[in-house]
Chain A
Amino acid sequence: MLKLDHISKTFNPGTEDAKKALNDLTLHVNSGDFITIIGANGAGKSTLFGAICGDFLTDSGTIMLDGENVTMQPAHERARVIGRLFQDPMRGSAPNMSIEENLGLAAGHGGWLSRLSKADKQDFRERLSLLGMGLENRMKSPVGLLSGGQRQALTLLMATVNPPKLLLLDEHTAALDPGTAEKVLALTQKIVRDGHLTCMMITHNMQSALELGSRTIMMDNGKILLDVSGEERRGLTVSDLLQSFREASGKNLTTDRMLLT
């Protein structure tokens, strides 16, 4: 499904700020995998997503997506098969456009000059009602009027209205209040399960990293330290994870954010 082979990326090469964000990283993602990704700040988690999406070209290595070599493909072409959510709920939708216009743009049905059809609007209304936020009755309101949680739920819908081959979630609930975060997370699980999507999710919550999904990856210094799934992953506790991290990296995984959550 997704094959990253020996990819490396150094930002600001040749300067004092040089940072090796990805270090000869190899990762094969199988179709239907739901991978949770954990690691300290600066471990390279978001950079990994950036490499997959084509935000920048990697210095070396190849990226195969669904049998196609996308290493040199521009970001907007890859985005056709990749859905992506960021931590900032404001980032995923256009505030001065209505809910239905945002969804219409994401669905991208028809040619460049086609307009939203009645059937599209009906479809959007049904999808919105599944969120249970009452957005189906506000389809003509500008998205800028929605709350952060509503906007992130809408972004999730936009990213999955055409089932993507790969869904990338970059701490997409971290900026929401706990109640809303839980709701959006439950929604995410439902959409991923119902659509049989392949999904990668960055989280700083080690507990939910183990509870959610089918596989967990731990990153450090641009490398994958730990990659567990199946039998091995079942029964694993947070302290097991911390222990493995210590053994693999020779240091403690302690960021304030991780201890607190």
Chain B
Amino acid sequence: MPMDMIIPLLRTALELGLISSLTVLALYLSYTMLNVCDLSTDGCFTLGAAVGAVVVLSGHPLLAIPAAMAAGMLSGFITAFLQTRMGINSLLAGIIVNTGLYSINIAVMGNTSLLNMNRAETVFAKVHRLLEGTALAREDKLIVALLAVVLVVAFLSVFLRTKLGLAIRATGDNPDMVRSSSINPIFTTTIGLCIANAFTALSGCLLAQAQKSVNIDIGSGMVTVALASLLMGTVFFSKKSITFRAVGAVVGSIVFRLVYTIALRFNMPASMLKLVSSVIVIIAISAPYLRAQIPVLRRRMTAKTQKEAV
């Protein structure tokens, strides 16, 4: 493959990897730290995309970002409320919110399932205009995505070491301990899910603006894709500090997109993305379990052969 074809491919993979790494960082907070598998991620991603697009179309590309994050936060609050105050199982709470969000997202987009931002000024176009004339102007997507990722990683590495951050980590790490301590798990779970979903919505908001359109399915399967990236990231940085592991989540996301982009070049149909991410998640989660089973299986095998020998 000639170089001038590879570079744009790499750039697209990097941009996409960075933008979706915001969702991976959201799961780093909710899944790795709080130990909640937030299945409202898909809907929340679309919510961020939809809210962002509507605000962009009204002529406020910068305002789109806080608006999308606030919407995500609200969605996270509802998911947390259902599981902490209403006695709904945490997986089920996520699924319920995800389903409800489908209708809400359609409503936000003005009762259509597709919004186009071709003629509106996105945050990327705005940055492009600001940098007009400099060499960086072409890299608007990369700059905005990188800035967002750096800010979120910096926020997480500071936040997770504050008293509130420690309390959130303890809630996921040892619920028994938290139950008999002065930490209120309802409070920590709620804060954690609000922040995580703000990042998920930010991720959706940026992706929609990068591709200048929102489809109601933009977020579908995001939770599995992000989980696959997150678990790939832990392969690189497993026993490191909070900050390193957050960077690992970003690296995982970029590597995932890179592999996927290369696979597309080799004529893998685009629709295979979700199957591939499912398989990665299955392997990453089941591997430690299966590894633990190996000695058991081996003993059974020897027992069987011994029996046959007798």
**Other-chain residue from A55, A96, A112 in contact with B173 (beta carbon distance below 8 A):** A96
A-facing mask of B171-192, CB < 8 A → 1, else 0? 0011011011111110000000
Within A99-120, the residues touching B (CB, 8 Å) are 101-102, 104-106, 108-116
Contact B174 A105 (CB under 8 A): no
Interface size on B, residues (CB 8 A): 21
The minimal Cβ–Cβ distance linking B31 to chain A, given in whole angstroms, is: 13
| Size band of the interface chain A makes with B | 20 to 34
Interface flag for A53 (CB, 8 Å): yes
A91 to chain B: which residues have CB within 8 Å? 174, 176-177, 180
A225–B21 CA distance with the chains assembled, in angstroms: 63
What residues of chain B lie closer than 8 Å to A96, measured between beta carbons? 169, 173
Given known A-B contacts A110-B163, A111-B163, A105 and B179 have beta carbons under 8 A apart: no
- Contact: A94 with B163, CB < 8 Å? no
Alpha-carbon separation in the docked complex, A104 to B167 (Å)? 10
- Chain A residues lying within 8 Å of B222, measured Cβ to Cβ, are none
Q: Which stretch, A5-13, A33-41, A72-80, touches the partner chain B?
A: A72-80
User: Is B57's CB within 8 Å of the partner chain A?
Assistant: no
Residues of B247-284 contacting chain A, CB below 8 A:
none
Q: Is the CB of B163 within 8 A of A79?
A: no
Interface 1/0s, chain B 135-172, versus A by CB < 8 A? 00000000000000000000000110111101101100
Q: How far is the CA of A102 from the CA of B177 in the complex (A)?
A: 11
**Contact partners of A53 in chain B: CB under 8 A:** 180
Chain B residues contacting A86 (CB-CB under 8 Å) are 180
Residue from the list A74, A90, A113 in contact with B163, Cβ < 8 A: A113
Chain A nearest CB: distance from B48 CB in Å? 25
Q: Does A173 contact B (CB under 8 A)?
A: no
Task: Verify B161–A76 contact, CB threshold 8 A.
Answer: no
- In the bound complex, residues from chain A placing their C-beta under 8 Å from that of B180 are 53, 55, 75, 79, 84, 86, 91
A102-B174 Cα distance, complex, nearest whole Å: 11
Q: Which of B166, B181, B182 contacts A104 (CB 8 A)?
A: B166
**Interface residue SS majority, chain B:** helix
Residue A148 at the chain B interface, CB threshold 8 Å: no
Instruction: Please give me the residue from chain B that is nearest to A106 by CB atom.
Output: B181
Q: Does A93 contact B (CB under 8 A)?
A: yes
Inter-chain contact B174/A76, CB cutoff 8 Å: no
Does A97 count as interface, using CB distance less than 8 angstroms?
Answer: yes
In the complex, what residue of chain B is closest to A91 when comparing beta carbons? B176
**Which B-chain residue is minimally distant from A78 (CB atoms)?**
B182
Among B162, B167, B177, chain A packs the most CB atoms within 10 A around the CB of: B177
A75 touches which of B161, B167, B169, B179 (Cβ 8 Å): B179
Give bound CA distance, A113 to B159, whole Å.
7
Query: Do the beta carbons of A94 and B181 come within 8 Å of each other?
Result: no
- For B191, the closest partner residue in chain A by CB is A112
A97 touches B173 (CB 8 A): yes
A114 touches B177 (CB 8 A): no
Closest to A144 in B: B173
Beta-carbon contact of B162 and A112 below 8 Å:
yes
Asked if A32 lies at the interface with its beta carbon under 8 angstroms from chain B, I say no
- Find out whether the CB atom of A113 lies under 8 angstroms from the CB atom of B170: no
| A112-B163 contact given A79-B180, A94-B169, CB 8 Å threshold | yes
Q: Is the CB of A114 within 8 A of B163?
A: yes
Chain B residues within an 8 Å CB radius of A104:
163, 166
Q: Are B161 and A93 in contact (CB under 8 A)?
A: no
Known: A101-B166, A113-B163. A93 touches B181 (CB 8 A): no
| B163 close to A108 (CB less than 8 A) | yes
Chain B residues near A105: list those with CB within 8 A.
Answer: 163, 166-167, 170, 183
Within the complex, what minimum Cβ distance (angstroms) separates B180 from chain A?
Answer: 5
- The answer on a CB contact under 8 Å between B173 and A76 is no
- B window 112-142: CB within 8 A of A: none
Q: Is the pair B170, A97 in contact by a Cβ cutoff of 8 Å?
A: yes
Distance (whole angstroms) from the CB of A56 to the closest CB of chain B: 12
Q: How far is the CA of A116 from the CA of B158 in the complex (A)?
A: 11
Residue of B nearest to A142 (CB): B239
User: Can you sample 16 A-B contacts with CB below 8 Å?
Assistant: A55-B180, A74-B184, A77-B182, A79-B180, A91-B176, A91-B180, A94-B170, A94-B177, A95-B174, A101-B161, A101-B169, A109-B163, A112-B164, A113-B164, A114-B162, A115-B163
Known pairs A79-B180, A84-B180, A105-B166; list 10 more (Cβ under 8 Å).
A77-B182, A79-B181, A90-B174, A94-B173, A96-B169, A97-B170, A105-B167, A111-B163, A113-B159, A115-B163
A residues within 8 Å of B by Cβ? 53, 55, 74-77, 79-80, 84, 86, 90-97, 101-102, 104-106, 108-116
Q: Nearest 4 A-B pairs (CB), nearest first?
A: A94-B173, A79-B182, A112-B164, A94-B174
